[in-house]
Amino acid sequence: MIRTHIPVLLDESINYLIIKNSGVYFEGTLGFGGHTEEILKRLDKRGSIVSTDVDFNAFNYCKQKFKDENRIRLYNFNFSLIDIIAKIENLKFFDGILADLGVSSFQLDNAAAGFSYSHSSELDLRLDKNLRKTAADFLNSETEEEIANVIYKYGEEKNSRKIARKISEFTKQNRIEKTDQLKEIISSVTNPKYLTKTLSRVFQALRIYVNNELDILKSFLENSVPVLKEGGRLVIISYHSLEDRIVKDFFKYETLSCVCPPDAPICTCNKVKRLNILTKKPVLPSVPEIRMNRRSRSAKLRVAERI
Ligand SMILES: C[S@@+](CC[C@H](N)C(=O)[O-])C[C@H]1O[C@@H](n2cnc3c(N)ncnc32)[C@H](O)[C@@H]1O
C-alpha cells in the first residue's frame, strides 16, 4: 500500500495563492498533488495549473491521479526551470507561484526511495535520478574534512567531525553502499539519547548536498519573479532554517529599490523593487495541525506579492 502525504499549511498557503479563480498557477513541488488538488478545487473551468516534480515517481503518480483533469499540465522538471516551463506553455506570466520544499512523506516512508535511515536501502538520496552523484558516491570519494563540512553546514550537526572521521575510517577499508551501513557508523559515535535527531540531521544534510537544494532554491526564486504577474503571489513553504533564511533574505532584497552604499552621492545601482512582503513573520502550522501531522512542525510559510 502506498502511504501518501498530508499537505502542510494547505488552507493558509492556497488562500494566499489564489487571487483569481480563472488564473493560471504554478506549483513547483507536485509531490502527491495535495496542494495542486486544492488549487484545482478553487479554480473555475477557465483556470488552470502547471505543476512539476523532479522525482519521476511523484510525477508518474500524479499523472494517474489527475488523468481525468484537463485543467492541469504536468512536468517532470526541476522547479528552477520555471522560466523554461513558462516558455513551453507559451505563457508570459503565472497568476501565482507555490513551492512546498523538501521531500514528501512517501519519499521518507518508502524504503525503495532511499531517503530515510529507518529502512535499509541504497544510500542514494537523489530526487532526480539523472544526477551524477549519489550520497554513497560522495561519502566514498570525498575527504574527511569535506564530509564534516557538509554535515555541519546542511545538518547543523555538532558532532560532524567525529562522524566524518568514522565514515572516512570505514571507507578506507570498504565502500558504503547502504543506508544501514551509514546508520551503524553514526550510531557508533552518538549518544543513544540523541541518535534519532543526529541520524535525521546527517541524512538531511546529505540530501540537501546531493540535490544542491539551496542553490536550486535561489535560482527558482530568481527565475520566478520575472514570470509572476503583477499582483501575483510567490508562496513558499520551507522546512529547514537554511531554506527559510534564503527565502527571507531574497524577499527582503526584492523589496529594496536601491542597494548603493549609504554614502554614495547618487544612486547608480539601477535596482528595481519587485516584491512586497505579505507575511512580516512566517505563518506557522497550528497546534491541531502539528498534532495531526508531526511532519508539519518545522514548516514556515512566507508570501510576497509582485509589484
Ligand atoms: C513536501 S513535497 C510536496 C508535497 C505536495 N505539496 C503535496 O501536498 O502532495 C516536496 C516535493 O518537491 C519535490 N522537489 C524537491 N525539490 C524539487 C525541485 N528542485 N524541483 C522539482 N521538484 C522538487 C520532491 O520530489 C517532493 O515530491
Ligand 1 proximity of 58 Cβ (cutoff 6 Å): yes
What are the Cα distances from residue 265, in Å, to 47, 180, 262, 269? 49, 61, 8, 12
Query: Cβ–Cβ contacts within 10 Å for residue 188, how many?
Result: 11
Calpha distance 234→228 (Å, rounded): 8
pLDDT at 208: 96
Q: Give the model's pLDDT for residue 5.
A: 85
Ligand 1 atom closest to residue 239's alpha carbon, by position in its atom list: 1
Q: Is 50 helix (H, G, I), strand (E, B) or coil?
A: strand
Checking DSSP bridges between strand 94-100 and strand 48-52, what pairing results, if any?
unpaired
DSSP class of residue 158?
T
Which residue shows C-alpha cell 492556497? 14
Q: What ligand 1 atom has the least distance to the C-alpha of 10?
A: 8
Helical H segments across 114-159, by residue range: 135-141, 144-155
108 lines ligand 1 (CB under 6 A): no
If you measure from the C-alpha of residue 171 to the centroid of ligand 1, how many angstroms do you get, rounded to a whole number? 32
pLDDT value of position 1: 42
- Edge to edge, the sheet with strand 24-27 lists 72-75, 48-52, 24-27, 94-100, 228-238, 300-306, 275-277
pLDDT at residue number 119:
79
pLDDT, residue 116, reads 78
pLDDT digits (tens, 9 = 90+) for 116-132: 788 788 999 999 999 99
Q: pTM for this one?
A: 0.95
Half-sphere exposure of 28 (CA within 13 A, CB side): 28
Q: What is the Cα 143 distance to its own chain's centre? A: 27
Q: Confirm if 115 and 135 have CB atoms less than 8 A apart.
A: no
Q: Could you give the CA distance from residue 79 to residue 98 in angstroms, rounded to a whole number?
A: 10
All three cell numbers of 135: 550520497
Instruction: For a ligand 1 pocket test, name from 8, 11, 30, 76 the mutation site with the most ligand atoms within 8 angstroms of its C-beta.
Output: 30
Q: Give the CA distances from residue 142 to residues 122, 133, 137, 138, 212, in Å, rounded to whole numbers and listed in that order.
A: 18, 11, 8, 6, 16
Q: For position 2, what pLDDT does the model report?
A: 54
Q: Quote the ligand 1 centre to 78 CA distance (angstroms).
A: 9
Does an H or E element contain 232, and which?
Answer: strand 228-238
Ligand 1 in contact with 102 (CB < 6 A)? Answer: yes
Residue type, 111: A
- Could you say which residues of the chain have pLDDT below 70? 1-3, 113
- How far apart (Å, rounded) are the C-alpha atoms in residues 282 and 272? 24
Nearest CA to ligand 1 atom 14: 29
| Predicted pLDDT of residue 115 | 81
Rounded to the nearest angstrom, the distance between the alpha carbon of 53 and the centre of ligand 1 is: 6
pLDDT at 186: 97
Q: What pLDDT does residue 3 have?
A: 56
Q: Is 51 in the pocket of ligand 1 (CB under 6 A)?
A: no
* Residue from 7, 6, 47, 12 nearest 26 by CA: 47
With b meaning 16 or more CB within 10 Å and e meaning fewer, what string describes 26-53? bbbbbbbbbbbbbbbeebeeebbbbbbb
